[in-house]
Structure 1
Amino acid sequence: MSNEKNLNRLNQELETLPPLVHEYVQAKSIVPYSLVTLYEYAKEFRRFFEWLVAESVVQVEISYISISDLEKLKKEDMDLYKSYLMSSPRQGTTQDGGLRSHVTIQRAITALRSLFHYLANQTEDNKGKPYLSQNVMLKIDNVKTGRTLQDRSRAIEKKILIGSESVAFLEYINHDYEATLTSHQAVHAFRRNKERDLAIIALFLGTGIRLSELVNMKISDLDIHNMEATVIRKGGFRDTTMISSMFMDHITTYYHAREKLYQPDQREKSLFLTTYKQEAKRIDQSTVEKLVSKYSASFKTKMTPHKLRHTVGTQLYKNTNSLLTVSHQLGQTGTSATSLYTHIVDKEKRDAINDLWQN
């Protein structure tokens, strides 16, 4: 989905939300958070405020909910809302009537945690104090998935590239994918963007960066000589990540061909481009998601950019046995998220199990 559509959807949500949310969105737009994230968060804020009104926790309309209303919230209120999310049926989706997934509920908690953290720590009233004197979300736990790390890792293992498959994937796109196309139009489109698409896949597999980090890169953020990429991580901080030499050829090829391929205006500094109405523009997230999906589905199984990130995390852990190294490469502030990779069964473990009872 284009940035313009995401911005329109976000603005529609903001029409009914109180000024405190508008201020939050403005602050996080500067960080920057992606428009997709802000839109999803705005939906969660609206859902929460609707619940506050419906349950008479607040006595005003949504657009008039104030800091003082949020200041009065207690842990009991937030636990009740969490229980509501876990037990009430979904509405307005293709699966009406079913319970929300743990991922959906956790997203709601994450969104509220971000809002309350902002109001309690990153704001300042006319007396120099934060808007909220206490953050009730600090007392609210994450949602437990009901699945072990081993179970989650086994599910992920089937949907990522293992070992040499990453290199084979790029070779497949480069040499074999075109033969699967059945129309001249598809072949033409593939050839036109082939160098770019290979570079995108190579950069994902060579760094493990996030989708938003890739599409927001400028041409100046790519350091070919030192094999490094500068990205804006979650939270808005700049970080320089190393690129595996294994994938530099495709990235370098596109880097030198970018201007000839897309003939961008000198003011267009985005690294990855697409042509829209005969004009070079920054590629959007949905386009990248689609190209990763079509190539991976043809090669092995349909994947997302996030699965390519899991691929890098898994392979890096197998090679280093260091969660700290993985967390640094992936731009994570701790190792808890990367502990998943310790449970992914690699070839050595599988061979050991297979040979366990051999004489």
Structure 2
Amino acid sequence: MYTAPLPFTKGENMQKENYQKLIEQKLQSLPLYVYYYTQQPNLAVTTIYQYLSEYERFFTWLRTTQTMSTNDDHKLICTATSNKDISIDTLKNLQASQVQQYLIDCQSTENKQNKITSKITINRTIHALRSLFHYLTVVADLNNGEPYFYRNVMLKIPFYKGVKESISYRNVKYGPQLYMGEKKFEWIHFIENDYENTISKHAIRYFKFNKERDIAIIALLLASGLRISELVNLNIHDLNIIDRSVLVIRKGGKKDAALIADWAIPYLKKYLHVRNTRYQPNKQLKAIFITRYRETAKRIDTSTIQRFVEKYSIAFPDGSRTTPHKLRHSLGTEIYNKSMDVVAVATQLGHTGLSATDQYIQQANKEKQRMILNQK
């Protein structure tokens, strides 16, 4: 039934194609109304995939959980034999107490790291379900121009308040993972000159093949604050070396132009100088950052970048294990420390609001607070 492709624009990269295949696989076992939900514009492919995973888990729970009502002993909430067969009436008649029961069950379940699901993760589940129910009760017009139903039980489900970690705690905890000031230059110098001395002879060949690319990516993350998803989607024509900027599609499809710190430009030039001869991409491959797999060049994916960022940071004697997101956070912290300007941080990182910059304000206030504590 689900043969129509999702509405991606022309020239979508390999990563999105891979996600689309995974999405289409998931849709095979989900109801038709979920497929229509995914056809909405401005839904990021990664968001669709994550939300479908949430719906799979929720629908499976509906089919395997007994109702809490005393009048319906041992009666399942939904009697459908598969997730695909769950009718719209099941969601229409769902009770708030049943949704709360599901969230409690989720919170008491251990994740893959054998840890109890956090409130932050539960809030993501609520957000995913709210999105689906909003579509079914407001946006959808497949029922003779009307939504599927009007009663939205998710409006009765509040987000979980409170987090286990304060901003101060997070700043201390993740501070070693930030690469700012001279530390970032020392790290890049280590990758350029010393990293190969820490690996086996077998691994050196692969490292040298991708050396310029990997350093260019790390430099761009540290010098622009791009999200990893934004970086992998970059095409050649998006990069302006002379203007030292890059065109980027932010969350929600917003077009933006991110500035690049001057120090990173030489690393980008070194990579671009070897890109074509080393990776031998065909003319149709417009991605800036590419990899070579089974004699074929393709756009690099996020998992590859995550792996080598972690690998290089673990090997660095003066650093700690870090992630591409922490490199983005490194630049945000640096900008605020130098400017004390939350607007400058938000503008560079592509934040849609200023609330996301609270962590940088808190970090900058730490030294001031220490001075007050030490006053005699």
Q: TM-score range by the shorter chain?
A: 0.7 to 0.9
Asked if the contact 1:204/1:305 (under 8 Å) is kept, the reply is yes
Q: Work out whether 1:270 is the aligned partner of 2:287.
A: yes
Question: Within 2, Cα distance between the matches of 1:191 and 1:353?
Answer: 50
Question: Within 1, Cα distance between the matches of 2:347 and 2:78?
Answer: 43
Q: Work out whether 1:252 is the aligned partner of 2:272.
A: no
- Of 50, 54, 58, the residue aligned with 1:44 is 54
User: Residue by residue, what CA displacement relative to the aligned partner does 1:74-105 show, whole Å, maximum 9, x if unpaired?
Assistant: 5444333322322x3337x463xx53233432
Partner of 1:186: 203
Question: Within 1, Cα distance between the matches of 2:282 and 2:249?
Answer: 23
Q: Work out whether 1:288 is the aligned partner of 2:310.
A: no
Q: Work out whether 1:14 is the aligned partner of 2:31.
A: no
Asked if the contact 1:31/1:235 (under 8 Å) is kept, the reply is yes
Partner of 2:188: 170
Question: Within 2, Cα distance between the matches of 1:132 and 1:309?
Answer: 42
**Higher CA-based Rg:** 2
Q: Work out whether 1:109 is the aligned partner of 2:126.
A: yes
- Of 322, 326, 338, the residue aligned with 2:357 is 338
Question: Within 1, Cα distance between the matches of 2:49 and 2:183?
Answer: 35
User: Residue by residue, what CA displacement relative to the aligned partner does 1:207-265 show, whole Å, maximum 9, x if unpaired?
Assistant: 11111111111111111121111222222332221112222221232234322221210
Asked if the contact 1:112/1:137 (under 8 Å) is kept, the reply is yes
Question: Within 2, Cα distance between the matches of 1:71 and 1:201?
Answer: 48
Question: Within 2, Cα distance between the matches of 1:348 and 1:204?
Answer: 27
CA deviation after TM superposition for structure 1 residue 312, in Å: 1.4
Partner of 1:78: 99
Partner of 1:206: 223
Query: Which region of structure 1 is more displaced relative to structure 2, 218-227 or 105-114?
Result: 105-114
Asked if the contact 1:233/1:239 (under 8 Å) is kept, the reply is yes
Q: May I ask how many residue pairs the two structures share in their alignment? A: 349
- Of 308, 324, 330, the residue aligned with 2:327 is 308
CA deviation after TM superposition for structure 1 residue 120, in Å: 4.7
Indicate the SS of the match to 2:218.
Answer: helix
Question: Within 2, Cα distance between the matches of 1:138 and 1:262?
Answer: 51
When the two chains are superposed, the root-mean-square deviation of aligned CA atoms in Å is: 3.0
Indicate the SS of the match to 1:235.
Answer: helix
- Kindly provide the amino acid, as one letter, of the partner of residue 273 in structure 1: I
- Kindly provide the amino acid, as one letter, of the partner of residue 153 in structure 1: N
Question: Within 2, Cα distance between the matches of 1:343 and 1:197?
Answer: 32
Question: Within 2, Cα distance between the matches of 1:329 and 1:227?
Answer: 13
- Kindly provide the amino acid, as one letter, of the partner of residue 181 in structure 1: I
- Kindly provide the amino acid, as one letter, of the partner of residue 222 in structure 1: L
Q: Which has the higher contact order (CA 8 A, sep 6+)?
A: 1
Asked if the contact 1:213/1:231 (under 8 Å) is kept, the reply is yes
Indicate the SS of the match to 1:230.
Answer: strand
Unaligned runs of 5+ in 2: 1-13, 68-75
Query: Among the aligned pairs, what percent are the same residue?
Result: 38
Asked if the contact 1:153/1:344 (under 8 Å) is kept, the reply is yes
With over 3 angstroms needed to count, the CA separation of the structure-2 counterparts of 1:113 and 1:255, relative to structure 1, is farther
Asked if the contact 2:221/2:324 (under 8 Å) is kept, the reply is yes
With over 3 angstroms needed to count, the CA separation of the structure-2 counterparts of 1:225 and 1:130, relative to structure 1, is farther
CA deviation after TM superposition for structure 1 residue 27, in Å: 3.8
Q: Residues 49-60 of structure 1: matches in 2 within 5 Å?
A: 49-53=59-63, 54=65, 55=67, 56-60=76-80
Question: Within 2, Cα distance between the matches of 1:63 and 1:348?
Answer: 56
- Of 49, 64, 67, the residue aligned with 2:85 is 64
- Of 70, 80, 90, the residue aligned with 2:110 is 90
- Kindly provide the amino acid, as one letter, of the partner of residue 17 in structure 1: L
Indicate the SS of the match to 1:217.
Answer: coil
CA deviation after TM superposition for structure 1 residue 271, in Å: 1.0
Question: Within 1, Cα distance between the matches of 2:154 and 2:181?
Answer: 41
Question: Within 1, Cα distance between the matches of 2:38 and 2:206?
Answer: 37
Unaligned runs of 5+ in 1: none
Question: Within 2, Cα distance between the matches of 1:132 and 1:160?
Answer: 48
Question: Within 1, Cα distance between the matches of 2:44 and 2:50?
Answer: 15
Q: Normalization by structure 2: what TM-score?
A: 0.81
Asked if the contact 1:210/1:309 (under 8 Å) is kept, the reply is yes
